[in-house]
Structure 1
Amino acid sequence: MRKRPPAVIGATGFIGSRLVSGLRRAGHEPASFNRTRPPVTDGRPALGLREAEIAFFLATRTTPALAEYRPGEIAAERALLISVLEEVAKSGRRPVFVLASSGGTVYAPHAWPPHAESAPTGPTSAYGRAKLQLERDLLHYADRVQPVVLRLGNVYGPGQRPTQGFGVLANWLAAAARDEPVRLIGDPQVVRDYVHVDDVTGLLATLHRYVRDDKADRVPAILNVGSGVPTSLAGLLDIVSASVGRELTVIRERGRHFDQRSTWLDSSLAAASLGWQATTSLDEGVRQYWKQVMQAQSSVDVIGSL
């Protein structure tokens, strides 16, 4: 029987664009949706949404800072998810629905890392609470879609754009390329779990393959997706300095009230159930990322000189 194309909501974003490219290289043309081609308009689904056997919801623009100060962004993201779920649920086939959540913010701060999926949740930030609410919204539809919640670590890699207050590596490498100081916010010993975007999209491709091979019943409802390697901000700064090839000037700033405590993920369930694990070391991933940043900077310099 002919398999239906996957749907990617957020197809032009950091993760979504790489997933779409990977699917196309593998010979699968996804139904792709973004802000200019929304999945639902005036209560009507776009072509390809209801037909998909697996839908990837990667359409997130909310950052921790936006979640704190612009709650309307949270409401808009939730409304989009529910509108998409309503339409996908009408297919009558219980398709797989994959939601990108946040492994770094949804777990309770009193739970000692590394966090497994069974660890208690209890986010302390508006961003974490918003992500957990999206998870609950998806699970509410579990009788009509097969939910797969991916609790992602700090995803980084080539193509990630620097955003104010979000994406430490993107901001540090962009500053280094401009020969500007980098901003280190909060305690330099706070630990995070950094996972390369290619490893993340590799897992998404694995989920698509499981659906095509009629093995979707083997996929857990909640999966951590991280490297499992705790890295402090101080350690990350050393790695960035080594990739850039010089010691960076650092501006230290006080932590923000919504910043998380140290956290990293136990992703052994993804390994046991799907045979997935992150394979890109942070040193290698940062070197790749720095090379792409410098290539982009060179292109800008050439255009500026014309």
Structure 2
Amino acid sequence: MAGQATVVGAAGFVGARLAARLQADGWSVWAPAKGDPALFERDLGTVFYCAGLTADYDRRPFDTVEAHASLVSELIRADRFERLVYCSSTRLYDGQRKDVAHEAEPLVFDPADPRRVYDLSKALGENLTLTRTGGRGAVARLSNVYDWADGAPGFLSEWLIRARTTRDLVLESSPNIARDYIHLDDTVEALIALGDRGQGIYNVAAGRLSTNADIARVFERAGWWVRFTGDASPLPPPNASAERLAGLGVVARPVEDVVAAYLEGLPA
């Protein structure tokens, strides 16, 4: 149901698409600039918290903590919202040694590892959202979100963008690397559903792992030539269960189907 929405991080990859979709659906959307004090002073309606650092979190650890935990802490303390949807990540499962990861299972972190600042700060943001909002918070653990718009981040996004200009693709990766991919539009659909009726934690994921080789076969069937420069075979990450998300009526499209349709629409 449309209403008042505030998108924190609306200049980012997920936040920009979410804000555009909400506006198209008839929501009154406010996208505060970074540092705007009105975030703690005005009525916010449903807040979609999409702010965060991904690629450069290790180089900017203090900014990472600010974006993932400190700012949302201040927002919750000001208490000017009706609901809060906090964007986290399925990367929080990386410390688990199991095939499938469910939302209710405890997380495992090594606080002595400096690269865990991303996971630990996201986990703190999750905790505040779940325990300090009086039951008005929901957490979206996003898997690997992709798109083909110019500037879309991530390995698969860059792969898809390059496919517009060449059919000979040499990729600096291994065919054996597996990830759970979810398209940006499916991600936005899930976030809106969480804002409407979500309670607790949800994996915003397809619920299945696809290797680079799986996706490369889709390209090859469509007439592209794909070669990888590496051959590493790392252990796959835990597969994030998407059962809770399906309970909200949101089922992400398989990445192979989305990629096939995209390639079919490109000029020969």
TM-score, normalisation: structure 1:
0.72
List structure 1 runs of 4+ shifted beyond 6 angstroms.
none
Paired letter, 1:151: R
Q: Could you tell me how far apart the structure 2 residues matched to 1:52 and 1:107 are?
A: 31
Determine the structure 2 residue equivalent to 1:9. 8
Comparing 259-268 and 10-19, the one that deviates more: 259-268
Question: Aligned with 1:283: secondary structure?
Answer: helix
Evaluate the alpha carbon distance shift between residue 54 and residue 131 of structure 1 in structure 2; reply closer, same or farther with a 3 A threshold. farther
Evaluate the alpha carbon distance shift between residue 275 and residue 143 of structure 1 in structure 2; reply closer, same or farther with a 3 A threshold. same
Shift of 1:290: 4.4
Matched length: 261
Shift of 1:233: 1.9
Which of 74, 83, 87 matches 1:96?
Answer: 83
Once the two structures are superposed, the pairs formed by residues 1-306 of structure 1 within 5 Å of their partners are: 5-33=4-32, 37-38=33-34, 40-41=35-36, 44-46=37-39, 50-63=42-55, 66-68=56-58, 70=59, 72=60, 74-81=61-68, 82-91=70-79, 95-103=82-90, 105-123=91-109, 129-140=117-128, 142-144=131-133, 146-159=136-149, 161=151, 163=153, 167-179=154-166, 181-186=169-174, 188-210=175-197, 219-243=198-222, 245-252=223-230, 261-272=236-247, 274-278=248-252, 280-290=253-263
Tell me if structure 2 keeps the 8 A contact 1:150–1:222: yes
Q: Could you tell me how far apart the structure 1 residues matched to 2:3 and 2:162 are?
A: 44
Paired letter, 1:53: G
Determine the structure 2 residue equivalent to 1:298. none
Shift of 1:108: 4.5
Evaluate the alpha carbon distance shift between residue 76 and residue 50 of structure 1 in structure 2; reply closer, same or farther with a 3 A threshold. farther
Paired letter, 1:28: W
Paired letter, 2:7: V
Shift of 1:193: 0.8
Aligned-residue CA RMSD (Å)? 3.1
Evaluate the alpha carbon distance shift between residue 144 and residue 230 of structure 1 in structure 2; reply closer, same or farther with a 3 A threshold. closer
Question: Aligned with 2:4: secondary structure?
Answer: coil
Question: Aligned with 1:51: secondary structure?
Answer: coil
Q: Could you tell me how far apart the structure 2 residues matched to 1:23 and 1:197 are?
A: 14
Paired letter, 2:30: A
Shift of 1:31: 0.7
Paired letter, 2:182: V
Evaluate the alpha carbon distance shift between residue 189 and residue 250 of structure 1 in structure 2; reply closer, same or farther with a 3 A threshold. closer
Question: Aligned with 1:262: secondary structure?
Answer: coil
Question: Aligned with 1:248: secondary structure?
Answer: strand
Q: Could you tell me how far apart the structure 2 residues matched to 1:83 and 1:110 are?
A: 28
Percent of aligned pairs with the same residue? Answer: 22
Shift of 1:175: 3.5
Which runs of 5 or more structure 1 residues have no equivalent in the other structure?
211-218, 296-306
TM-score, normalisation: structure 2:
0.81
Which runs of 5 or more structure 2 residues have no equivalent in the other structure?
none
Tell me if structure 1 keeps the 8 A contact 2:48–2:195: no
